Chains A and B, each alone.
Chain A
Amino acid sequence: MLSYRITMFQSKVAAKIVAPIASRAYASVASAPVVSTANGIKVAAVAGNSDSPLASVSLVINAGSRFETSESAGAAHYLKAFGFRNTQTRTSFRTVREAELNGATLTAETTRENITYTVQCFKEAVPYFVEVLGDIAAATKFAEHEFKDVAQLVGFESLSARSDPMSRALDGIHQAAFRSGLGNSLYALESSPVSSGDAVRQYAQSALAPGRIAIVATGVDAQELANLVSSSRLSSLVTPASALSSPAASFTGGVQQIYDSASPVSHYALAFASEPASAQSLAALLGAQSRIKWSSGVLPLAKLAATDGFGIAPFSFAYSDAGLVGVIVSAPNTRIKAAVEKVAATIQREIASASGEAIQRAAAAARVDVAESLATQQGQIHALSNIALGQTAATLESVDDAAAKLSSAAARVFKSKPVAVSIGLSQNTPYVDTLGF
């Protein structure tokens, strides 16, 4: 893989400078040891740069929205919002104030697979925050009076996601592609049956099985972290009687048309099923965004978008048992049909049978993206939690593997039947079965 860089720089000196940095900083995440505690919680950490005083610790629970049933729809979103609230040992007020005094940042996020509570802090504060995270897992109260506040926050997040066409399109794409399981919305909709702290507690109880939990950290030694976890409340967790389960993802294919006559712009999302490991490289091959400022570059979709004047954004998702790759096309209502048809034709004609040069370009772009993300704390946390929980992690090794098979993957994926979501003036957006796939 290094050969790309060497040919790029045409200089042995550059290769010598690049190589040690690459092997030192990035390889560590993929080779990070995963330690299991006595009760089966996975612990993974990268010690990272010893000069930096910064660290992060995350509690990752494999209980994202794909594990919701019709009775618990939206529970993952509520559980995320209950992070850092009152526990048996600490009030949320204390948690927040002490985090502020330590200069720490508390965040909670959820994907379709994992709920992640992250603390970014200084290295010396890590033992304290491991305790805080242990309390979240073992002792959150889910008090009814807090549920009112949480519900307001959740309601606002859901509403703003619904009013953003991009996140609505991506939610719709999952629904059309996978129906249940991965098709569940990331957000608790107004129709969510979760209406009390007790309902969230029930979901949390089955979610908080030690086997579903990972503690990942950056800037901390893995063994040290495992010791901290063993002495926190996390060690008292036992496997609950009822376990969460999610139907295995199967790409069903389908279409969603969301009518919005008030918007002058229509959006059209087109997504293909792919191997999870190759999704990101395939998105780079779609390469709808030029990486060169002030130029549309040579990428076919970027050139098309620039000459015809519409917006295009590629996306990819890699789950443990499924991958999605596609583009979102945005154009004025009058031009959306032509734009989508041209994009579909370009994907079939040029991208599905991409040449050696285009493949190399995509592989390099994907490699840069992954390397760039692994150089950030956020990216390391994501990769570590995926590795610890045995999910699809984006590492330089995985992206190189995908690059080797990219040409055959493109030919297979971009000729398969896609799913589509249109948002806007539905009369103008084409049906997916008229696009020739």
Chain B
Amino acid sequence: MLEPIARAVQSNSAFRAICRPLSSAWVNLSGYRRYGMRYDDLLREETPIIQEAIARLTRDETDGRVYRQKRAFQLSLSHQELPLTQWTKPQDDYKYLQPLIEEVRLEHVERDAFNSMTFVKK
């Protein structure tokens, strides 16, 4: 119900023109880049779909993810931030996990559709 509305708003060019300048400021304020993390490191991972998506990451992506999370945890414990030069750069903050989550989600949707199929007699 909400999804089509959200998509319509997102693809509205006027809305995008207003939001785009604010978005990078918003991301910087949210602070995760100061710990060297990427947005996809913060997604809630305790669901079967995201667990499966994480399992499909390549070895390099998994290693990087675990390293970033450990480092951030350590920094948080010691009440520190990374030096400015080591903050996550905007170009490194790409969606490495979300496409996989979407892929697995669609697989689940498909599976549910097949499992709740109704037969119509022609």
Contact = CB atoms under 8 A, between A and B. Distances in A.
Contact of B114 (A93, A143, A144, A145): A93
Q: Is the interface of A mostly helix, strand, loop or mixed?
A: helix
Contacts of B107: 91, 93
A145 B103 CA distance: 12
B58 A93 contact: no
B56 interface: yes
Interface string A21-63: 0000000000000000000000000000000000000000000
B110 A91 contact: yes
B97 to A, nearest CB: 14
Interface string B78-122: 000000000000000000000000000001001100100000000
Interface string A96-133: 01000000000000000000000000000000000000
A144 B111 contact: no
A349 interface: no
Most buried by B among A94, A143, A145: A145
Contacts of B110: 91, 93-94
B27 to A, nearest CB: 30
B55 interface: yes
A97 B114 contact: yes
Nearest to A97: B114
Nearest to B59: A144
Interface in A134-182: 143-145
B56 A93 contact: no
Contacts of B58: 144
Contacts of A145: 55-56
Given A97-B114, A145-B55, A145-B56, 11 more contacts: A91-B107, A91-B110, A93-B107, A93-B110, A93-B111, A93-B114, A94-B110, A94-B114, A143-B56, A144-B56, A144-B58
Interface of B: 55-56, 58, 107, 110-111, 114
Interface of A: 91, 93-94, 97, 143-145
14 contacts: A91-B107, A91-B110, A93-B107, A93-B110, A93-B111, A93-B114, A94-B110, A94-B114, A97-B114, A143-B56, A144-B56, A144-B58, A145-B55, A145-B56
10 pairs of A and B residues whose beta carbons are closest in the complex:
A145-B56, A97-B114, A91-B107, A94-B110, A91-B110, A93-B111, A93-B110, A144-B58, A93-B107, A145-B55
